[in-house]
Amino acid sequence: DTEVTQTPKHLVMGMTNKKSLKCEQHMGHRAMYWYKQKAKKPPELMFVYSYEKLSINESVPSRFSPECPNSSLLNLHLHALQPEDSALYLCASSQAQGVPRPQHFGDGTRLSIL
């Protein structure tokens, strides 16, 4: 069992749909991350939240909209996605941004865009 919980595990959506991915951690971590991982590739950072504020946006298209409602929750809102956005979306958390500590990952949401 992982300490970072992501829902849903799988999501199929059309290009005109709006959906949200959710991530939750109860380790008291103050940094949370979204990564995108294509098959047989390493994870690529999308966003970093530090103390509930957006700290890093890796030039991600605006059809991906992150939100951090509180220190335990992280959402990724999806709208008008493209087929190339199909991937595994991983959420992670760490004690604090910039502190040399491990990142704890959830098992991801496998997203398919029709």
Partner 1 sequence: SQQGEEDPQALSIQEGENATMNCSYKTSINNLQWYRQNSGRGLVHLILIRSNEREKHSGRLRVTLDTSKKSSSLLITASRAADTASYFCATDGAGNTGKLIFGQGTTLQVKP
Instruction: By CB under 8 A, name the binding residues for partner 1.
Output: 2, 4, 6, 31, 41-45, 48, 50, 55-56, 90, 92, 94, 96-108
By beta-carbon proximity to partner 1, the closer residue of 16 and 100 is 100
- Tell me the C-alpha distance between 3 and 38, whole Å: 23
CB of 18 to partner 1, least distance (A): 25
Beta bridge partners of 109: 89
Residue 106: strand, helix, or coil? coil
CB of 26 to partner 1, least distance (A): 16
By beta-carbon proximity to partner 1, the closer residue of 64 and 108 is 108
CB of 4 to partner 1, least distance (A): 7
By beta-carbon proximity to partner 1, the closer residue of 83 and 100 is 100
Q: E strands along the chain, which residues? A: 4-7, 10-13, 18-25, 31-37, 44-50, 53-57, 64-70, 73-79, 87-94, 104-105, 109-113
